[in-house]
Protein backbone atom coordinates (compact mmCIF):
# COMPACT_ATOMS: atom_id res chain seq x y z
CA UNK A 1 0.00 0.00 0.00
CA UNK A 2 2.86 2.36 0.84
CA UNK A 3 4.18 2.14 -2.75
CA UNK A 4 0.89 3.57 -4.04
CA UNK A 5 0.87 6.61 -1.73
CA UNK A 6 2.68 8.90 -4.25
CA UNK A 7 0.25 7.83 -6.98
CA UNK A 8 -2.76 8.52 -4.77
CA UNK A 9 -1.30 11.85 -3.67
CA UNK A 10 -0.72 12.83 -7.29
CA UNK A 11 -4.25 11.81 -8.28
CA UNK A 12 -5.70 13.91 -5.45
CA UNK A 13 -3.52 16.93 -6.29
CA UNK A 14 -4.24 16.68 -10.02
CA UNK A 15 -8.01 16.23 -9.54
CA UNK A 16 -8.21 19.09 -7.05
CA UNK A 17 -6.31 21.65 -9.13
CA UNK A 18 -7.77 20.64 -12.49
CA UNK A 19 -11.25 20.70 -10.93
CA UNK A 20 -10.56 24.22 -9.63
CA UNK A 21 -9.39 25.27 -13.09
CA UNK A 22 -12.57 23.89 -14.70
CA UNK A 23 -14.69 25.80 -12.15
CA UNK A 24 -12.83 29.03 -12.95
CA UNK A 25 -13.26 28.50 -16.69
CA UNK A 26 -17.00 28.02 -16.21
CA UNK A 27 -17.18 31.26 -14.25
CA UNK A 28 -15.39 33.14 -17.01
CA UNK A 29 -17.76 31.70 -19.62
CA UNK A 30 -20.73 32.66 -17.44
CA UNK A 31 -19.42 36.22 -17.07
CA UNK A 32 -18.82 36.57 -20.81
CA UNK A 33 -22.36 35.36 -21.49
CA UNK A 34 -23.69 38.28 -19.43
CA UNK A 35 -23.02 40.37 -22.52
CA UNK A 36 -25.58 40.94 -25.23
CA UNK A 37 -25.77 38.61 -28.25
CA UNK A 38 -23.44 39.21 -31.19
CA UNK A 39 -23.43 37.14 -34.35
CA UNK A 40 -19.87 36.17 -35.26
CA UNK A 41 -20.63 32.95 -37.13
CA UNK A 42 -20.20 34.40 -40.62
CA UNK A 43 -17.27 33.60 -42.95
CA UNK A 44 -15.90 30.63 -40.95
CA UNK A 45 -13.06 29.97 -43.39
CA UNK A 46 -11.79 33.52 -43.09
CA UNK A 47 -12.12 33.34 -39.32
CA UNK A 48 -10.02 30.17 -39.13
CA UNK A 49 -7.37 31.80 -41.32
CA UNK A 50 -7.47 34.94 -39.16
CA UNK A 51 -6.99 32.91 -35.97
CA UNK A 52 -4.20 30.82 -37.51
CA UNK A 53 -2.31 33.84 -38.75
CA UNK A 54 -2.61 36.04 -35.65
CA UNK A 55 -2.98 33.71 -32.65
CA UNK A 56 -1.02 30.71 -33.85
CA UNK A 57 1.34 32.45 -36.27
CA UNK A 58 1.97 35.49 -34.03
CA UNK A 59 1.94 37.71 -37.13
CA UNK A 60 1.30 40.95 -35.22
CA UNK A 61 3.85 40.23 -32.50
CA UNK A 62 6.79 40.17 -34.90
CA UNK A 63 6.10 43.70 -36.09
CA UNK A 64 8.52 44.61 -33.32
CA UNK A 65 11.29 42.22 -34.44
CA UNK A 66 13.38 41.69 -31.29
CA UNK A 67 10.65 41.52 -28.65
CA UNK A 68 8.40 39.72 -31.12
CA UNK A 69 10.96 37.02 -31.84
CA UNK A 70 11.62 36.46 -28.14
CA UNK A 71 7.89 36.28 -27.45
CA UNK A 72 7.60 33.64 -30.18
CA UNK A 73 10.38 31.67 -28.44
CA UNK A 74 8.54 31.82 -25.11
CA UNK A 75 5.27 30.92 -26.85
CA UNK A 76 6.73 27.92 -28.69
CA UNK A 77 8.72 26.91 -25.63
CA UNK A 78 5.55 26.94 -23.55
CA UNK A 79 3.83 24.64 -26.06
CA UNK A 80 6.79 22.32 -26.70
CA UNK A 81 7.89 21.87 -23.11
CA UNK A 82 4.34 21.13 -22.02
CA UNK A 83 4.30 18.17 -24.40
CA UNK A 84 6.38 16.51 -21.69
CA UNK A 85 3.61 17.37 -19.28
CA UNK A 86 1.58 14.51 -20.74
CA UNK A 87 4.34 12.05 -19.84
CA UNK A 88 4.67 13.52 -16.35
CA UNK A 89 0.93 13.14 -15.75
CA UNK A 90 0.95 9.51 -16.89
CA UNK A 91 4.01 8.80 -14.73
CA UNK A 92 2.25 10.44 -11.79
CA UNK A 93 -0.83 8.26 -12.10
CA UNK A 94 0.96 4.98 -12.88
CA UNK A 95 4.11 5.38 -10.81
CA UNK A 96 6.29 4.85 -13.90
CA UNK A 97 9.32 6.89 -14.96
CA UNK A 98 9.74 8.28 -18.50
CA UNK A 99 6.99 6.01 -19.73
CA UNK A 100 7.34 7.14 -23.36
CA UNK A 101 11.06 6.36 -23.65
CA UNK A 102 10.80 2.62 -24.46
CA UNK A 103 8.23 3.29 -27.19
CA UNK A 104 9.90 6.27 -28.90
CA UNK A 105 13.53 5.17 -28.85
CA UNK A 106 15.86 7.74 -30.45
CA UNK A 107 12.91 10.05 -31.10
CA UNK A 108 12.65 10.45 -27.34
CA UNK A 109 16.24 11.69 -27.22
CA UNK A 110 15.41 14.31 -29.84
CA UNK A 111 12.35 15.43 -27.88
CA UNK A 112 14.21 15.87 -24.58
CA UNK A 113 17.01 17.67 -26.46
CA UNK A 114 14.44 20.05 -27.95
CA UNK A 115 12.73 20.61 -24.61
CA UNK A 116 15.99 21.59 -22.94
CA UNK A 117 17.07 23.95 -25.74
CA UNK A 118 13.75 25.75 -25.53
CA UNK A 119 13.94 25.85 -21.73
CA UNK A 120 17.29 27.66 -22.00
CA UNK A 121 15.92 30.03 -24.67
CA UNK A 122 12.89 30.80 -22.49
CA UNK A 123 15.19 31.72 -19.60
CA UNK A 124 17.14 34.09 -21.84
CA UNK A 125 13.93 35.63 -23.20
CA UNK A 126 12.44 36.09 -19.73
CA UNK A 127 15.60 37.85 -18.56
CA UNK A 128 15.33 40.17 -21.56
CA UNK A 129 11.65 40.91 -20.86
CA UNK A 130 12.32 41.56 -17.17
CA UNK A 131 15.16 43.93 -18.06
CA UNK A 132 13.02 45.88 -20.52
CA UNK A 133 10.23 46.19 -17.99
CA UNK A 134 12.19 46.99 -14.82
CA UNK A 135 15.58 48.42 -15.82
CA UNK A 136 15.14 49.97 -19.27
CA UNK A 137 11.61 50.91 -18.12
CA UNK A 138 9.96 51.17 -21.52
CA UNK A 139 7.38 53.93 -21.34
CA UNK A 140 4.28 51.87 -22.16
CA UNK A 141 4.97 49.62 -19.16
CA UNK A 142 4.91 52.57 -16.76
CA UNK A 143 1.65 54.28 -17.62
CA UNK A 144 -0.62 55.21 -14.67
CA UNK A 145 -2.87 52.17 -15.12
CA UNK A 146 0.14 49.85 -14.72
CA UNK A 147 0.71 50.60 -11.04
CA UNK A 148 -0.03 48.11 -8.28
CA UNK A 149 -1.38 44.70 -9.23
CA UNK A 150 -0.97 45.00 -13.04
CA UNK A 151 2.77 45.60 -12.60
CA UNK A 152 3.13 42.83 -10.03
CA UNK A 153 1.19 40.43 -12.22
CA UNK A 154 3.62 40.90 -15.11
CA UNK A 155 6.64 40.33 -12.85
CA UNK A 156 5.09 37.34 -11.09
CA UNK A 157 4.65 35.58 -14.43
CA UNK A 158 8.29 36.19 -15.35
CA UNK A 159 9.48 34.87 -11.98
CA UNK A 160 7.19 31.84 -12.30
CA UNK A 161 8.60 31.00 -15.72
CA UNK A 162 12.15 31.15 -14.35
CA UNK A 163 11.21 28.86 -11.46
CA UNK A 164 9.41 26.36 -13.68
CA UNK A 165 12.23 26.20 -16.23
CA UNK A 166 14.78 25.94 -13.40
CA UNK A 167 12.89 23.04 -11.84
CA UNK A 168 12.61 21.34 -15.22
CA UNK A 169 16.36 21.50 -15.82
CA UNK A 170 17.17 20.50 -12.22
CA UNK A 171 14.86 17.49 -12.51
CA UNK A 172 16.56 16.44 -15.76
CA UNK A 173 20.06 17.00 -14.37
CA UNK A 174 19.38 14.78 -11.35
CA UNK A 175 17.77 12.20 -13.61
CA UNK A 176 20.81 12.23 -15.91
CA UNK A 177 23.17 11.80 -12.92
CA UNK A 178 21.14 8.83 -11.66
CA UNK A 179 21.21 7.31 -15.16
CA UNK A 180 24.93 7.64 -15.77
CA UNK A 181 26.69 7.89 -12.40
CA UNK A 182 24.50 5.95 -10.00
CA UNK A 183 23.06 3.75 -12.78
CA UNK A 184 19.87 3.31 -10.78
CA UNK A 185 17.66 0.69 -12.45
CA UNK A 186 14.53 2.83 -12.03
CA UNK A 187 16.14 5.70 -13.97
CA UNK A 188 16.51 4.10 -17.39
CA UNK A 189 19.00 5.62 -19.78
CA UNK A 190 16.85 7.77 -22.01
CA UNK A 191 16.95 11.31 -23.29
CA UNK A 192 19.58 13.79 -24.42
CA UNK A 193 20.45 16.59 -21.99
CA UNK A 194 22.39 19.40 -23.75
CA UNK A 195 21.68 21.99 -21.06
CA UNK A 196 21.09 20.17 -17.77
CA UNK A 197 24.30 18.16 -18.15
CA UNK A 198 26.17 21.29 -17.12
CA UNK A 199 24.45 21.08 -13.72
CA UNK A 200 25.99 17.69 -12.91
CA UNK A 201 28.85 19.17 -10.82
CA UNK A 202 26.19 20.27 -8.32
CA UNK A 203 25.75 16.62 -7.36
CA UNK A 204 29.45 15.84 -6.81
CA UNK A 205 29.96 14.02 -3.52
CA UNK A 206 26.25 13.29 -3.05
CA UNK A 207 24.89 9.81 -2.52
CA UNK A 208 22.13 8.41 -4.77
CA UNK A 209 19.48 8.77 -2.08
CA UNK A 210 20.06 12.53 -1.87
CA UNK A 211 20.00 12.96 -5.64
CA UNK A 212 16.79 10.93 -5.89
CA UNK A 213 15.28 13.23 -3.27
CA UNK A 214 16.32 16.27 -5.34
CA UNK A 215 14.90 14.75 -8.52
CA UNK A 216 11.61 13.87 -6.81
CA UNK A 217 11.26 17.28 -5.15
CA UNK A 218 11.96 19.03 -8.47
CA UNK A 219 9.47 16.73 -10.21
CA UNK A 220 6.69 17.43 -7.69
CA UNK A 221 7.37 21.17 -7.61
CA UNK A 222 7.46 21.32 -11.41
CA UNK A 223 4.12 19.58 -11.98
CA UNK A 224 2.57 21.29 -8.94
CA UNK A 225 3.81 24.65 -10.19
CA UNK A 226 2.28 24.10 -13.62
CA UNK A 227 -1.09 23.17 -12.11
CA UNK A 228 -0.99 26.20 -9.80
CA UNK A 229 -0.01 28.41 -12.75
CA UNK A 230 -3.02 27.07 -14.61
CA UNK A 231 -5.29 28.33 -11.83
CA UNK A 232 -3.39 31.60 -11.50
CA UNK A 233 -4.44 32.44 -15.07
CA UNK A 234 -7.96 33.16 -13.78
CA UNK A 235 -6.61 36.18 -11.89
CA UNK A 236 -3.95 37.20 -14.39
CA UNK A 237 -3.64 39.02 -17.70
CA UNK A 238 -1.99 35.82 -18.96
CA UNK A 239 -5.44 34.37 -19.49
CA UNK A 240 -4.72 35.40 -23.08
CA UNK A 241 -2.68 32.18 -23.38
CA UNK A 242 -6.04 30.44 -23.67
CA UNK A 243 -8.39 33.16 -24.92
CA UNK A 244 -6.21 34.51 -27.74
CA UNK A 245 -7.50 31.75 -30.01
CA UNK A 246 -11.28 32.29 -29.63
CA UNK A 247 -10.68 36.03 -29.42
CA UNK A 248 -9.03 36.16 -32.84
CA UNK A 249 -11.56 33.74 -34.31
CA UNK A 250 -14.54 35.88 -33.25
CA UNK A 251 -12.81 39.20 -34.04
CA UNK A 252 -14.41 41.83 -36.27
CA UNK A 253 -13.64 41.08 -39.93
CA UNK A 254 -15.20 44.20 -41.44
CA UNK A 255 -12.93 47.10 -42.51
CA UNK A 256 -11.34 48.84 -39.55
CA UNK A 257 -12.90 52.20 -40.31
CA UNK A 258 -16.41 50.77 -40.48
CA UNK A 259 -18.51 51.43 -37.37
CA UNK A 260 -21.42 49.19 -36.52
CA UNK A 261 -24.95 50.53 -36.80
CA UNK A 262 -27.56 50.08 -34.10
CA UNK A 263 -30.32 47.86 -35.46
CA UNK A 264 -33.12 49.77 -33.73
CA UNK A 265 -31.94 53.08 -35.17
CA UNK A 266 -31.36 51.58 -38.62
CA UNK A 267 -34.90 50.16 -38.73
CA UNK A 268 -36.34 53.50 -37.64
CA UNK A 269 -34.45 55.39 -40.35
CA UNK A 270 -35.55 52.87 -43.00
CA UNK A 271 -39.14 53.34 -41.87
CA UNK A 272 -38.83 57.11 -42.15
CA UNK A 273 -37.35 56.88 -45.65
CA UNK A 274 -39.92 54.38 -46.94
CA UNK A 275 -42.65 56.35 -48.75
CA UNK A 276 -45.02 53.39 -48.55
CA UNK A 277 -44.63 52.83 -44.80
CA UNK A 278 -47.36 53.75 -42.35
CA UNK A 279 -45.63 56.19 -40.02
CA UNK A 280 -48.36 55.74 -37.41
CA UNK A 281 -48.50 51.96 -37.43
CA UNK A 282 -48.05 50.12 -34.15
CA UNK A 283 -44.56 48.72 -33.50
CA UNK A 284 -43.97 45.24 -34.90
CA UNK A 285 -42.82 44.00 -31.49
CA UNK A 286 -44.10 44.51 -27.97
CA UNK A 287 -40.58 44.14 -26.55
CA UNK A 288 -39.28 46.83 -24.24
CA UNK A 289 -37.26 49.57 -25.98
CA UNK A 290 -33.58 48.76 -26.33
CA UNK A 291 -31.11 50.77 -24.29
CA UNK A 292 -29.03 52.79 -26.67
CA UNK A 293 -25.31 52.31 -26.17
CA UNK A 294 -23.63 50.97 -23.05
CA UNK A 295 -23.37 52.26 -19.50
CA UNK A 296 -22.27 49.01 -17.85
CA UNK A 297 -20.71 45.71 -18.86
CA UNK A 298 -24.07 43.99 -19.30
CA UNK A 299 -24.87 46.54 -22.03
CA UNK A 300 -21.83 45.40 -24.01
CA UNK A 301 -21.89 42.31 -26.21
CA UNK A 302 -20.19 39.04 -25.29
CA UNK A 303 -17.33 39.55 -27.77
CA UNK A 304 -16.41 42.83 -26.08
CA UNK A 305 -16.37 41.11 -22.68
CA UNK A 306 -14.18 38.33 -24.08
CA UNK A 307 -11.88 41.05 -25.43
CA UNK A 308 -11.52 42.39 -21.90
CA UNK A 309 -10.59 38.97 -20.52
CA UNK A 310 -8.15 38.44 -23.40
CA UNK A 311 -6.22 41.69 -22.99
CA UNK A 312 -2.48 41.09 -22.49
CA UNK A 313 -1.93 44.60 -21.05
CA UNK A 314 1.08 44.93 -23.35
CA UNK A 315 0.25 48.58 -23.99
CA UNK A 316 0.84 48.55 -27.74
CA UNK A 317 -2.61 50.07 -28.21
CA UNK A 318 -1.87 52.92 -25.81
CA UNK A 319 1.58 53.50 -27.32
CA UNK A 320 -0.04 53.99 -30.76
CA UNK A 321 -2.98 56.10 -29.52
CA UNK A 322 -2.61 59.71 -30.79
CA UNK A 323 -4.79 61.03 -27.97
CA UNK A 324 -2.55 59.41 -25.35
CA UNK A 325 0.58 60.64 -27.14
CA UNK A 326 -0.64 64.23 -26.85
CA UNK A 327 -1.14 63.92 -23.09
CA UNK A 328 -4.86 63.25 -22.99
CA UNK A 329 -6.30 60.94 -20.36
CA UNK A 330 -7.40 58.23 -22.79
CA UNK A 331 -5.56 54.89 -22.68
CA UNK A 332 -7.16 52.09 -24.73
CA UNK A 333 -5.41 49.55 -22.49
CA UNK A 334 -7.09 51.11 -19.44
CA UNK A 335 -10.47 50.86 -21.18
CA UNK A 336 -9.99 47.10 -21.47
CA UNK A 337 -8.58 46.74 -17.95
CA UNK A 338 -11.48 48.71 -16.47
CA UNK A 339 -14.00 46.59 -18.37
CA UNK A 340 -12.40 43.41 -17.03
CA UNK A 341 -12.30 44.82 -13.48
CA UNK A 342 -16.00 45.65 -13.64
CA UNK A 343 -17.07 42.28 -15.07
CA UNK A 344 -14.91 40.61 -12.41
CA UNK A 345 -16.71 42.66 -9.75
CA UNK A 346 -20.08 41.58 -11.17
CA UNK A 347 -18.90 37.95 -11.32
CA UNK A 348 -17.76 37.96 -7.69
CA UNK A 349 -21.20 39.17 -6.62
CA UNK A 350 -22.82 36.38 -8.63
CA UNK A 351 -20.49 33.84 -6.99
CA UNK A 352 -21.89 34.93 -3.62
CA UNK A 353 -25.49 34.96 -4.84
CA UNK A 354 -25.66 38.73 -4.39
CA UNK A 355 -26.60 41.63 -6.62
CA UNK A 356 -23.69 43.68 -8.01
CA UNK A 357 -23.06 46.99 -6.24
CA UNK A 358 -24.20 50.30 -7.66
CA UNK A 359 -20.92 51.00 -9.42
CA UNK A 360 -21.20 50.93 -13.19
CA UNK A 361 -18.59 51.05 -15.92
CA UNK A 362 -19.43 54.62 -16.92
CA UNK A 363 -18.08 57.23 -14.49
CA UNK A 364 -17.12 54.70 -11.77
CA UNK A 365 -14.44 53.10 -13.94
CA UNK A 366 -14.21 54.97 -17.23
CA UNK A 367 -14.54 58.74 -17.23
CA UNK A 368 -16.30 60.81 -19.87
CA UNK A 369 -13.09 62.70 -20.47
CA UNK A 370 -11.46 59.47 -21.63
CA UNK A 371 -14.34 58.61 -23.95
CA UNK A 372 -14.45 61.97 -25.70
CA UNK A 373 -10.66 62.11 -26.11
CA UNK A 374 -10.83 59.24 -28.62
CA UNK A 375 -10.39 60.23 -32.28
CA UNK A 376 -11.89 56.93 -33.57
CA UNK A 377 -8.75 56.41 -35.67
CA UNK A 378 -8.54 52.62 -35.01
CA UNK A 379 -4.81 52.78 -34.20
CA UNK A 380 -5.43 50.76 -31.03
CA UNK A 381 -7.31 48.04 -32.92
CA UNK A 382 -4.62 47.81 -35.57
CA UNK A 383 -1.84 47.61 -32.96
CA UNK A 384 -3.35 44.88 -30.78
CA UNK A 385 -1.48 41.55 -31.16
CA UNK A 386 -4.67 39.52 -30.66
CA UNK A 387 -7.28 41.66 -32.45
CA UNK A 388 -8.93 43.30 -29.42
CA UNK A 389 -11.27 46.20 -30.24
CA UNK A 390 -11.25 48.91 -27.52
CA UNK A 391 -12.85 51.38 -29.93
CA UNK A 392 -16.13 49.44 -30.03
CA UNK A 393 -16.53 49.87 -26.27
CA UNK A 394 -15.75 53.58 -26.50
CA UNK A 395 -18.28 54.07 -29.30
CA UNK A 396 -21.01 52.19 -27.42
CA UNK A 397 -20.45 54.25 -24.28
CA UNK A 398 -20.51 57.46 -26.30
CA UNK A 399 -23.80 56.36 -27.81
CA UNK A 400 -25.23 55.96 -24.35
CA UNK A 401 -24.12 59.45 -23.37
CA UNK A 402 -25.61 61.03 -26.49
CA UNK A 403 -28.79 59.01 -26.92
CA UNK A 404 -29.74 58.24 -23.33
CA UNK A 405 -28.39 61.22 -21.41
CA UNK A 406 -28.03 63.91 -24.08
CA UNK A 407 -24.63 64.48 -22.54
CA UNK A 408 -22.45 65.15 -25.57
CA UNK A 409 -19.86 67.93 -25.36
CA UNK A 410 -21.15 71.35 -26.38
CA UNK A 411 -19.08 71.38 -29.58
CA UNK A 412 -20.69 68.13 -30.69
CA UNK A 413 -24.17 69.35 -29.79
CA UNK A 414 -23.64 72.48 -31.89
CA UNK A 415 -22.45 70.35 -34.82
CA UNK A 416 -25.45 67.99 -34.59
CA UNK A 417 -27.85 70.95 -34.40
CA UNK A 418 -26.27 72.43 -37.52
CA UNK A 419 -26.62 69.11 -39.35
CA UNK A 420 -30.28 68.95 -38.35
CA UNK A 421 -31.05 72.54 -39.34
CA UNK A 422 -28.63 73.21 -42.16
CA UNK A 423 -27.80 69.78 -43.55
CA UNK A 424 -24.12 70.35 -42.77
CA UNK A 425 -21.94 70.80 -39.67
CA UNK A 426 -21.40 74.50 -40.41
CA UNK A 427 -23.61 77.30 -39.05
CA UNK A 428 -24.77 78.38 -42.53
CA UNK A 429 -27.86 77.29 -44.38
CA UNK A 430 -27.62 75.87 -47.88
CA UNK A 431 -28.44 79.15 -49.56
CA UNK A 432 -25.67 80.99 -47.75
CA UNK A 433 -23.21 78.20 -48.50
CA UNK A 434 -23.87 78.53 -52.22
CA UNK A 435 -23.57 82.32 -52.31
CA UNK A 436 -20.02 82.08 -53.62
CA UNK A 437 -21.40 80.95 -56.98
CA UNK A 438 -23.19 84.24 -57.41
CA UNK A 439 -19.99 86.12 -56.66
CA UNK A 440 -18.30 84.26 -59.52
CA UNK A 441 -20.93 85.57 -61.94
CA UNK A 442 -20.50 89.21 -60.99
For residue 153, being part of any structural domain is answered with yes
Q: In this predicted structure, what is the pLDDT of residue 281?
A: 61
Q: What is the DSSP letter of 36?
A: B
Q: What is the DSSP letter of 142?
A: G
- The rounded distance, in Å, linking the Cα atoms of 312 and 27 is 20
User: Is residue 203 located within the same domain as residue 308?
Assistant: no
For residue 22, being part of any structural domain is answered with yes
- The rounded distance, in Å, linking the Cα atoms of 224 and 333 is 32
Q: In this predicted structure, what is the pLDDT of residue 442?
A: 62
For residue 54, being part of any structural domain is answered with no
Tell me the CATH number at 379: 1.10.1060
**139-142 CB contacts, 8 Å cutoff, 24+ apart:** 139/319, 140/314, 140/315, 140/316, 140/318, 140/319, 141/315
User: Is residue 294 located within the same domain as residue 244?
Assistant: no
Closest CA to 246 of 21, 442, 51: 51
User: Is residue 187 located within the same domain as residue 299?
Assistant: no
Q: In this predicted structure, what is the pLDDT of residue 394?
A: 97
- The rounded distance, in Å, linking the Cα atoms of 179 and 199 is 14
Tell me the Cα Rg of the chain: 28
For residue 413, being part of any structural domain is answered with yes
For residue 26, being part of any structural domain is answered with yes
What range defines the domain where residue 88 resides? 2-32+64-249
User: Is residue 192 located within the same domain as residue 319?
Assistant: no
For residue 283, being part of any structural domain is answered with no
Name the pTM for this structure. Answer: 0.87
User: Is residue 226 located within the same domain as residue 312?
Assistant: no
Number of domains in the chain: 2
User: Is residue 214 located within the same domain as residue 341?
Assistant: no
User: Is residue 126 located within the same domain as residue 27?
Assistant: yes
Instruction: Transcribe 186-235 into DSSP letters.
Output: TS-S----TTGGGGGGGGTT--HHHHHHHHHHHHHHHHHHHHHHHHHGGG
User: Is residue 142 located within the same domain as residue 239?
Assistant: yes
User: Is residue 15 located within the same domain as residue 112?
Assistant: yes
Phi, psi of 384 (to 5 degrees): -65, 130
User: Is residue 20 located within the same domain as residue 147?
Assistant: yes
For residue 352, being part of any structural domain is answered with yes
User: Is residue 239 located within the same domain as residue 317?
Assistant: no
For residue 256, being part of any structural domain is answered with no
Instruction: List alpha helices for 41-104, DSSP H.
Output: 44-51, 65-81, 83-94, 101-104
Closest CA to 155 of 70, 91, 222, 238: 238
The Cα diameter of the chain in Å comes to: 110
User: Is residue 216 located within the same domain as residue 294?
Assistant: no
- pLDDT of the chain along its 442 residues, tens only? 457 788 899 999 999 999 999 999 999 999 999 999 999 999 999 999 999 999 988 888 888 888 888 888 888 887 777 778 889 999 999 888 888 888 888 899 999 999 999 999 999 999 999 999 999 999 999 999 999 999 999 999 999 999 999 999 999 999 999 988 878 777 888 888 999 999 999 898 889 899 999 999 999 999 999 999 999 999 999 999 899 999 999 999 988 788 888 877 787 777 777 777 666 665 555 455 578 899 999 999 999 999 999 999 999 999 999 999 999 999 999 999 999 999 999 999 999 999 888 899 999 999 999 999 999 999 999 999 999 999 999 999 999 999 898 888 888 888 888 888 887 888 777 666 666 667 776 6
- For the chain, the straight-line distance linking the first and the last C-alpha, in angstroms and rounded, comes to 110
- The rounded distance, in Å, linking the Cα atoms of 221 and 163 is 9
Domain boundary among 226, 249, 272: 249
Amino acid sequence: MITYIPNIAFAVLFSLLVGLFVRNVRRIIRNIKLGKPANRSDRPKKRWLHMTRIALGQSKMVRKPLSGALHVIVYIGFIVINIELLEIIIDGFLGTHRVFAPFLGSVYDVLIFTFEIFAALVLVSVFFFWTRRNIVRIKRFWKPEMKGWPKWDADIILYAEVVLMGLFLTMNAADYWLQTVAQDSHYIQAGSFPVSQFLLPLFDGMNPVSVIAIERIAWWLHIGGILLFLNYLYYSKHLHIILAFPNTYFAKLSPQGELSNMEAVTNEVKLMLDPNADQYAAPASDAAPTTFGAADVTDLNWVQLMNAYSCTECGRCTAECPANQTGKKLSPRKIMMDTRDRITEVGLALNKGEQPNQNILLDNYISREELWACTSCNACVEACPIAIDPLSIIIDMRRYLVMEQSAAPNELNVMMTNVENNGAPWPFNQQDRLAWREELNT
